[in-house]
Amino acid sequence: MSPMEQRLSLVTLGVADLARSRRFYEEGLGWRKNNVEEEIVFYQLNGLILALWTRPDLAEDANIEDSGATFSGMALAFNTRSHDEVDEILAEAAAAGGTVVKPAREVVWGGYSGYFADPDGHRWEVAWNPGWAIDESGHISLSS
**What are the pLDDT digits (tens) for 104-122?**
999 998 999 999 999 998 9
What does residue 95 show for φ and ψ, rounded to 5 degrees?
-65, -25
Give CA–CA dist 55/20, Å, rounded.
Answer: 13
**What are the pLDDT digits (tens) for 76-105?**
999 999 999 999 999 999 999 999 999 999
Mean pLDDT, range 68-75, rounded to an integer: 75
Kindly write down the DSSP assignment for every residue of 66-104, as one continuous string. Answer: ----S--S-EEEEE-SSHHHHHHHHHHHHHTT-EEEEEE
* Domains along the chain with CATH numbers: 10-60+74-132 (3.10.180.10)
